[in-house]
Chain A
Amino acid sequence: MSRSEQFMIENPFERVGATDHANDPIVRPTISFWSDVRRRLIANRVAMFGLICIILILILAIIVPELSSYSYMDQNLSNTNAAPSRDHFFGTDSLGRDLWVRVWVGARVSLAVGIFGSIIPSVIGIVIGGISGYFGGFIDTIIMRAVDIIICIPSMIYVILIMLVFGSGPIPLIIAFALTGWMGAARDVRGLILQLKEREFVLASKLLGASHLSLIFKHLVPNTLGIVVVGMTMSVPGAIFQEAYLSFIGLGISPPIPSWGQLANLGTAVFRIYPYQLLIPALLISITMLSFNLFGDGLRDALDPKLRS
């Protein structure tokens, strides 16, 4: 600023005193925790690529089966194992069913199992872990020892047992995942709550007379959500893969409902002659898992308080 400009000021040396400080403006824009996370997530290209892939797959899974003239069980024995063409983008299978439609109906099943199969156990884990960490002492010991024991037994054993009892299908699969998948989330949440419950803002609410439930679910759990959401996102590919694997070995989803694992299973039978019947579902499984992992990674970075500035 040049010296001459000072003469533009009226009475430059008149004393005006300090400003009223109750009205100190805050220069930075208001930004809530989650909008800050969103901002950083959007800035992360790799994570956004993952998210776009996930959204694209979801949209296709929703609209393709509705718009297509074929249904996933329409057989056409005169046109079996057709190669991909204008009529059948992904060709047809050994019963002449349109694979394009079957793949996207399968996507519905696989994604539903993947997403609900990780959200439901996480929610169970949050509740159990939250209670365990908050109350501590005897309750905590019992819950955590129980978790230790349950976690020792390979989850595949339960899943298979549950599938045998409830029959196969998407709902029994999600139940099976819910019963076997909550322990990890419970442990994470408990650990976080143990740290958080000594924080002064929690003590302050306690002193104001907040009840146990409101302390756990209004103050503690929301502050663990970030990490839990990352865990959830990262466990989606696991659930999708587990579904695919179970369906592939004949448990899980049973015909005629398709799922990616199912389709891959059927594809192996004719792999040598019609490799695309296996490769297409396999590729979709891989892309989806990769997308969820990339997105989850980005989410974790966006939530990391150390990177905050």
Chain B
Amino acid sequence: MAEPILEVIDLQKEFIGSRKKRIRAVNNVSFTINEGETLGVVGESGCGKTTVGRTIVRLYDADGGKVLYRGLDIHKADRRTTRKLAKQIQMVFQDPYSSLDPRKTVLSILEEGLKIHKLFRTKKERIERVYQLLELVGLNREHANRFPHEFSGGQRQRIGIARALSVNPELIVCDEAISALDVSIQAQIINLLIDLQDRLKLTYLFIAHDIHMVRYISDHIAVMYLGTLVEKASTEQLFKNPLHPYTRGLLEAIPVPDPKHEQQQSTLKGEAKPLTIEHEGCRFYNRCPFAKEICRDSMPALKAHDSGQTVACHMVHSENW
């Protein structure tokens, strides 16, 4: 059994929305990632998946709960440990256009982490390492003196991955790292990430809204809806037997690339609207085709189901499901 590398326990994060309403972006989210594995986090916009990712890399502070990296609470770490953690947890960003400084060459972008952590003594060694990084992600050393705007989206994302790898991290949070790319390029990046994982023994937290792309890279998948985790399962289990009505809706909604496929009318009506902190019931209540009274009044807890996955739904756990 692999060691857990990251444990997120009851994580909470609030934002102040319009008219000073408190919006709970992340609500008691808990999960574990084992070393060398990939956890995919899926959900639609506004579900809090990006906030979870950013809290784990310490761009945000948590308003409640803990994030343990190898047993160490990352939000309570002292300065020196924080510096060390920066080397261990890295992030790949969504937008390949805004994630690279337009004024800097690829070399100086990739060199930055090496300089900050004083990983090499001489400039020559650093440049050698940058060349090595470029080749690792499928670019070549001639690209080092180019500026970001000269590259295509896919190539820029490779540079972003190289930057994350420059400090030899163990855990990489991929925040919608493929969403802004073309389909054929998405597949390239996924393959690159899988390849790097095998070679460098990386652990990924892979955040995305496209559940089908996530499945190729993830060992486990967590589905989020409006700040809560609604279902958590191994990838195989989730696709074989999705339990939560939202997961099912999500899977059904994806258009199948086959003209003869008879798609059902979408079961999910309406759209997700952010809820204030006062909301008590299940967050999916107003869109759920199975909702009953209990769903309006109390929030279902994430519980293990007989089939092996954990799911937060009153109906799934009730007798007559």
Contact = CB atoms under 8 A, between A and B. Distances in A.
Interface stretch (A95-103, A204-212, A259-267): A204-212
A203 interface: yes
A32 B91 CA distance: 27
A31 interface: yes
Contact of A210 (B87, B99, B116): B116
Interface in A193-219: 199-201, 203-211, 214, 219
A219 B166 CA distance: 18
A33 interface: yes
Contacts of A209: 83, 86-87, 113, 116-117
A211 B117 CA distance: 11
Contacts of A33: 102-103, 147
A21 B139 CA distance: 8
B147 A32 contact: yes
Interface string A17-33: 00001110010101111
Given A28-B150, A30-B145, A219-B101, A207 B94 contact: no
Interface residues of B, number: 38
B135 A22 contact: yes
Do most interface residues of chain B lie in helix, strand or loop, or is the interface mixed? loop
A256 interface: no
Interface residues of A, number: 25
Given A28-B150, A207-B86, A201 B99 contact: yes
A154 interface: no
B103 A26 contact: no
Given A22-B140, A199-B98, A222-B103, A207 B59 contact: yes
Interface string A24-65: 001010111100000000000000000000000000000000
Contacts of A223: 101-103
A22 B59 contact: no
B300 interface: no
Contacts of A204: 91, 93, 99, 160, 163-164
Nearest to A208: B113
A185 B180 CA distance: 35
A205 to B, nearest CB: 6
Interface in B99-150: 99-103, 105, 112-113, 116-117, 135, 138-140, 143, 145-147, 150
Contacts of B101: 201, 205, 219, 223
A284 B147 CA distance: 42
B99 A31 contact: no
Contact of A30 (B89, B112, B138, B147): B147
A244 to B, nearest CB: 37
A120 to B, nearest CB: 24
Best-surrounded residue of A32, A199, A208, A214 (most CB of chain B within 10 A): A208
A216 B283 CA distance: 40
B90 interface: yes
B95 A200 contact: yes
B167 interface: yes
A61 to B, nearest CB: 33
Contacts of B87: 209
A22 B158 CA distance: 11
Do most interface residues of chain A lie in helix, strand or loop, or is the interface mixed? helix
Nearest to A199: B98
B29 interface: no
Nearest to B108: A218
Given A201-B98, A205-B112, A219-B101, A21 B138 contact: yes
Nearest to B105: A32
Best-surrounded residue of A199, A210, A211, A223 (most CB of chain B within 10 A): A199
A200 B102 CA distance: 12
B140 A23 contact: yes
A37 to B, nearest CB: 11
Nearest to A305: B102
B189 to A, nearest CB: 14
A32 B163 CA distance: 20
Contacts of B105: 32
Interface string A225-259: 00000000000000000000000000000000000
Contacts of A28: 150
A26 B98 CA distance: 21
Contacts of B102: 33, 223
Contacts of A30: 145-147, 150
Contacts of B167: 208
A40 to B, nearest CB: 15
Nearest to A198: B98
Best-surrounded residue of A28, A201, A209, A211 (most CB of chain B within 10 A): A201
B202 to A, nearest CB: 16
B172 to A, nearest CB: 11
Best-surrounded residue of A31, A205, A209, A211 (most CB of chain B within 10 A): A209
Best-surrounded residue of B58, B99, B101, B145 (most CB of chain A within 10 A): B101
Interface of A: 21-23, 26, 28, 30-33, 199-201, 203-211, 214, 219, 222-223
21 contacts: A22-B138, A23-B140, A30-B145, A30-B150, A31-B147, A31-B150, A33-B102, A199-B98, A199-B99, A201-B100, A203-B93, A205-B112, A207-B57, A207-B90, A208-B90, A208-B116, A208-B117, A209-B116, A209-B117, A210-B116, A211-B116
Task: State the 4 A-B residue pairs at the shortest beta-carbon distance, nearest first.
Answer: A200-B99, A209-B86, A208-B113, A200-B93
Interface of B: 57-59, 83, 86-87, 89-91, 93-95, 98-103, 105, 112-113, 116-117, 135, 138-140, 143, 145-147, 150-151, 160, 163-164, 166-167
